[in-house]
Amino acid sequence: MSAEHHSSLLDAVKGQPKQVWITAFAAVIAFMGIGLVDPILLSIAKGLDATPSQVTLLFTSYLGVQVIAMLFTGSMSARFGAKRTVLVGLTLIVAATALCAAAGSIEQLVGLRAVWGLGNAFFIATALSVIVGAATGGQGGAILLYEAALGVGLSVGPLLGALLGTISWRGPFVGTAVLMAGALVLCSIFLKSDSHEKRPPIKLLDPIRALKHPGLLRTSLASALYTAAFFTVLAWSPFVLGWSAIAVGLIFCGWGLCVAVAGVALAPKLAARFGERHAAALAVVGYTVLMLVLAIPDKTVAVVGIILSGLVSGLLNTLFTGTAMSISDAPRPVASAGYNFCRWFGGAVAATLVGHIADWLGWEQGPFVVAAVLCVIAAVLLSMREKKADPHVVPKEAALVGDEEF
């Protein structure tokens, strides 16, 4: 780490007001929700007598609702203020996670995960604006804090799910509800009200209209295909491994750390050398190779492939967002909303179909081969020539908007 970057990191954590730390803490808990259920998928299947295809719907409902909700969270925040939007999101998450712990069937659990996804959409889409607005030291320091929250959440989520999951599959939901309830109380007390501030209005269909731009549409579709592969790893790997919650949790903890490190430290260097769009195309090819590695019926190879996929995912999270933000003339919040809609729609579809694909092909590793094919198509879309030059830099806003994706 360079001295300059190290200094920036120190500046980012010095003298921050309470509402910055409280929002960052809440963000860590929210990001934990992505991988929290991963180590306990087998336990949930056993406890609720559910099939793998039914259990993977926990990702589908969570992501599907979050995708649609993110189209209108911007307009809601602009109308009611960031604090109110954050509190609504946290309240929904607390209620959903507490009820998840009491669910008596897989259908109830899937429905409650949908409510969780709705709360996450309200919270995550708004939390960064709170941090940026309140942080000392400018936007750069605020983004570093938010990226730190992202990395900690992605790594701790699977680990917490594993540790509490050894007691019961209900344990991780109880733990998350307690932590998020604390965050809700702190945010309600310390966050400043901004309901009277005026913001530019965002219409509901603006993000969809932005996708009329050919370059943004191709980038968004490519990202959707990659994200489908991403959730093939996240949703199907625990069933392929068949290991204990602790083992799966440790593996995905390492995966999450790789995502965070690559997104912050490696992606800007790759973009500077090749251009963000071309760098994304190269990274997608790398992800294709890793999907084929995961198709090898060897659990040790699978573990290595999963952890290494975290590095490539970290690159792609930043590079895809940078490409989406620079390829069209649409306002960045609008372009981001359209891009994120496509991206996470791909994840929701993959989480729904991954178990069925394995059944249709009669091959446990089959979903990874399908994921590799999707990545090849994504690479082709990214390789198509654009009229606009490919910037050799990841825009500052890319980190900002890229983190909102989670």
Give the tens place of pLDDT for each residue, 15-37.
677 777 888 888 888 778 777 78
Given a cut of 70, whether residue 198 has pLDDT beyond it is no
Find where tokens 């709360």 sit.
Answer: 119
| Structure-block tokens of residue 71 | 């189209």
pLDDT band of residue 284 (cuts 50, 70, 90) is very high
Question: How many residues does this entry show for the chain?
Answer: 406
- Tell me the one-letter amino acid at 7: S
Choose between 1 and 29: higher pLDDT.
Answer: 29
Exposure string for 276-300, b = 16+ CB within 10 A, e = fewer = bbbbbbbbbbbbbebbbbbbeeeee
Give residues with Cβ within 8 angstroms of 26, minimum separation 6: 86, 90, 123, 127, 180, 183, 184, 186, 187
Report the alpha-carbon distance of residue 197 to residue 127 in Å, rounded: 16
pLDDT at 404: 42
State residue 128's pLDDT score.
64
Contact 263, 279 (CB under 8 A): no
62 residue type, one letter? Y
CB 369 within 8 A of CB 304: no
The CB density around residue 350, as the number of other CB atoms within 10 Å, is 30
pTM: 0.80
Under the banding of pLDDT at 50, 70 and 90, the label for residue 406 is very low
Single-letter amino acid, residue 107: E
Which alpha helices (DSSP H) does 101-213 contain, by range? 106-134, 138-165, 171-190, 206-210
CA distance 230 to 235: 9
pLDDT of residue 213: 92
DSSP, res 297: S
The pLDDT of residue 289 is above 90: yes
Confirm if 388 and 327 have CB atoms less than 8 A apart: yes
| Higher pLDDT pick, 359 / 74 | 359
Tell me: the pLDDT tens digits for 152-194?
Answer: 787 888 888 888 888 899 999 998 898 889 888 888 888 877 6
What CA–CA distance (Å, rounded) separates 28 from 49? Answer: 31
Query: Is 148 or 70 the better-scoring residue by pLDDT?
Result: 70
What is the band of 133 on the pLDDT scale with cuts at 50, 70, 90? Answer: low
Instruction: Please report, for residues 64, 122, 178, 185, the alpha-carbon distance to residue 91 in angstroms, rounded to integers and kept in the order given.
Output: 19, 10, 12, 10
Confidence at residue 399, expressed as pLDDT on a 0 to 100 scale? 46
Model confidence at 402, in pLDDT bands (50, 70, 90)?
very low
CA geometry: angle 228, 157, 260, nearest 5 deg: 65
**DSSP characters over 74-112:** HHHHHHH-HHHHHHHHHHHHHHHHHHHTT--SHHHHHHH
Mean pLDDT of 319-324: 82
Residue 4 has what pLDDT? 39
pLDDT, tens only, 326-348? 788 877 667 777 887 898 899 88
Question: CB of 126 within 8 A of CB of 87?
Answer: no
Which pLDDT score, from 0 to 100, does residue 137 have?
A: 59
Identify the residue with better confidence: 324 or 214. Answer: 214
Q: What is the pLDDT of residue 8?
A: 44
Token code pair at residue 324: 């989406």
Stretch 371-383: mean pLDDT:
95
**Taking 50 as the threshold, does the pLDDT of residue 7 lie above it?**
no
More reliable by pLDDT, 354 or 141 = 354
Q: How much is the pLDDT for 3?
A: 40
- Does 145 score more than 80 pLDDT? no
Tokens of 204: 């509901």
Distance CA 54, CA 103 (A): 15
In order of start, what are the domains of the chain with their CATH numbers? 1-200 (1.20.1250.20), 205-406 (1.20.1250.20)
Rama region for 105: left / alpha / beta (φ>0; ψ in -120 to 50; rest): beta
CB 192 within 8 A of CB 83: yes
Of 139-143, 251-255, 268-272, minimum mean pLDDT range: 139-143
Is the pLDDT assigned to residue 138 strictly greater than 60? no
Token pair listed for 366: 């089959």
Looking at this protein, which amino acid is placed at residue 260?
A
The single-letter DSSP state of residue 18 is H
pLDDT exceeds 80 at position 199? no
Q: Mean pLDDT for the chain?
A: 82
168's tokens: 């019961």
Confidence category of residue 2, pLDDT binned at 50, 70, 90: very low
Q: Compute the half-sphere exposure of residue 157: CA atoms within 13 Å on the CB side of its CA.
A: 25
Q: Choose between 341 and 303: higher pLDDT.
A: 303
